[in-house]
Amino acid sequence: MLPRMARLSLTQRSQVVFAIASAAAMAAVLAGPWMQAERRAMDSQRAVWREAAIGWGRQPDAGDGSVRLISGNGEEAAGGDPFVLAALEQFQRMPEQFDFDRLTTDSPARLLYARALRGDELNRARSGLRVSLGTPEGDWKSQPLEGVVVMERAGGELARQIALDRVSLALSGGAAWVALLVVVRTLVMRGYLRAVRRLRDVADKVRAGDTLARSTLRTGDELQELGEAFNAMVEALESAQARVESINRSLDLKVGELSEANVGLFESNKLKSEFLANVSHELRTPLNSILGFADLLSELARNDANADPKRMRYISHIQTSGRGLLEMINELLDMAKIEAGRMEVAVGSVSVAEVLEGIGAIMRPLAESKGASVVVERPDELPTIETDPGKLQQILYNFMSNAIKFSPEGGVVRLVAAPGTRDGKPAVRLSVVDQGPGIPADMQQAVFEKFRQVDASHTKRHGGTGLGLAICRELAHMLGAGVGLHSVAGKGSTFWVEVPVQFAARALQPLMSGRAD
């Protein structure tokens, strides 16, 4: 029932519920008259029985078998007749009642009537004397029950009359119920449903995009208030839509301006990268000449026994400053190449042990000049990896240079290799561990950004462009590797690069898209 009701519309459900409720109310109203139909018929028949009982009392020898005289007041007197037994029990329980009747439901129906005999009424009836069987008078109910007079006649006519009364009552109630449904449905259809449908039509127009549609209900009740509230909602919606359209137009203009500015920035950045690449390349040529002549002067000064010590010191300063300048130019050139997309990857089979030993041999003289030492730690068995050896060496060279630069005198810089995994695939992790001042936690992510240094003040102890770690991150990204660090302030730092054993070419990304590190 409930699933079927759920498939009906609200109007249909309302009509079904009203029909059921009105039918229940009509049945409750007709229940009383339905029960009273038999009671009224029996009351009228009781008057007939009493007249018949009076007549029998005057002439008790009817002799047609329809009247029985029963003596006694117990089950033996009833002789198994349920009606007689019920009458005796009723008379004993209610002494003021002097007669009892019933219409049987068997076929054919029978009308039964019992008149109580108290005191000497039974003996007088037996002796043929006159007995008054009308309404008892005096102290009749206090006398003992001696017997009953039972009268019987056919009850088919009375049963038919009761049935006809009930059928008439049911037809009248059904007709009234149907008329009520018709009237209520007509009123609802003309009033409530018509107004609701008009509201629905307005809502459909608004949903279709016609924001000028309005409700014109003038019913003077809650439906009119609902229509007015709907109109206010549509007006607010129209106002909000106008504001949104205005904002969208403004956003379109801003997006266009930003697109143009972005294109300009992209072109400017491209020109900047190309300019840096060209300038850096052009700067290296004269700088290499300066360093070459400085080395020649240094060699001549070393071979001259009478050389002025100041000359040796000045030449050393020229060499140191020139090499630092050359290193910065190389970093700028590398970053410019990366940004311009000119950096290429040459993948080949690389022995990790050879890379570690080569970096260790290159960096030991620099570490010794700082009073530090370099230690290489690696397991006996390391896999051969597919990568660009030059770029991997450049990453490790930058890590080692920073570690030596920040290590205290007498410190140890460790170059450690260990097997690992990257994205669930075999890899080798190469770590550089120093004993320097460490990096604060809030700066550990920033050090891999361009031109970012832990000490960026004008009075910083260590020079540099701040591009070394940024270049390491970009190179690692090109190799399909990852870089990271672990550091505790005052306890040194560990920089690592994790290189996959099998090289996987990086997928090209659309222009202007973000790139994960």
| Residue 409, number of CB atoms within 10 A of its CB | 7
- In angstroms, the CA 48 to CA 46 distance is 5
Cross-strand pairs, 349:
386
Query: Mean of the pLDDT values across residues 410-438?
Result: 87
Helix (H, G, I), strand (E, B) or coil at 104: coil
Q: Mind giving me the DSSP string for 135-184? A: S--SSGGGSPEEEEEEEEEE-HHHHHHHHHHHHHHHHHHHHHHHHHHHHH
The Cβ of residue 12 has, within 10 Å, a number of other Cβ atoms equal to 11
- For 63-78, b/e burial (b = at least 16 CB within 10 A) is eeeebeebebbeeebb
Instruction: Work out the percent of the chain whose per-residue pLDDT is above 90.
Output: 1
Average model confidence (pLDDT) across the chain: 78
Task: Give me the amino acid identity at 468.
Answer: G
Omega before 60 within 30 of 0, i.e. cis: no
Two tokens, residue 263: 């294109």
- Alpha-helical segments (H) within 59-81: 75-78
Q: List pLDDT tens digits, range 253-270.
A: 888 888 888 888 877 777
In whole angstroms, give the CA distance from residue 477 to residue 239.
51
Amino acid 515: pLDDT: 44
According to DSSP, the residues that pair with 351 across neighbouring strands are 384
DSSP state of 441: G
Residue 122 to residue 397: CA distance in whole angstroms = 140
Residues of the chain with CATH 1.10.287: 215-343
What stretch of H or E contains 118? Answer: strand 110-118
Mean pLDDT, residues 226-235 taken together:
84
Give me the CATH code for the 215-343 domain, please: 1.10.287
Give mean pLDDT, residues 222-244: 83
Global pTM value: 0.45
Which fold does the domain 346-500 belong to in CATH?
Answer: Heat Shock Protein 90 (3.30.565)
**Boundaries of CATH 3.30.565.10 in the chain?**
346-500
Q: For strands 145-154 and 110-118, give the pairing.
A: antiparallel
* Residue 446: how many other CB atoms lie within 10 Å: 14
CA angle 276, 278, 284 (to 5 degrees): 95
Task: Check pLDDT > 60 for residue 418.
Answer: yes
Give the tens place of pLDDT for each residue, 113-153.
888 888 877 777 777 655 667 777 777 788 888 888 888 87
Q: For residue 346, what pLDDT band results from cuts at 50, 70 and 90? A: confident
| pLDDT confidence of residue 512 | 46
Nearest CA among 221, 217, 214 for reference residue 195: 217
Provide the phi-psi class of 422: left if phi over 0, else alpha when psi is between -120 and 50, else beta: beta
* 458 contact partners, CB below 8 Å, separation of at least 6: none
The mean per-residue pLDDT over the stretch 61-86 comes to: 75
Sheet with 412-422: strands ordered across: 373-377, 412-422, 425-433, 493-500, 482-487
Q: Cα–Cα–Cα angle for 112, 116, 117, nearest 5°?
A: 135
38/166 Cα distance (integer angstroms): 9
- Confidence band of 62 (pLDDT split at 50, 70, 90): very low
C-alpha distances in Å from residue 226, one per residue of 189, 209, 213: 18, 21, 15
Dihedral of the CA atoms 351, 357, 358, 360 (nearest 10)? 140
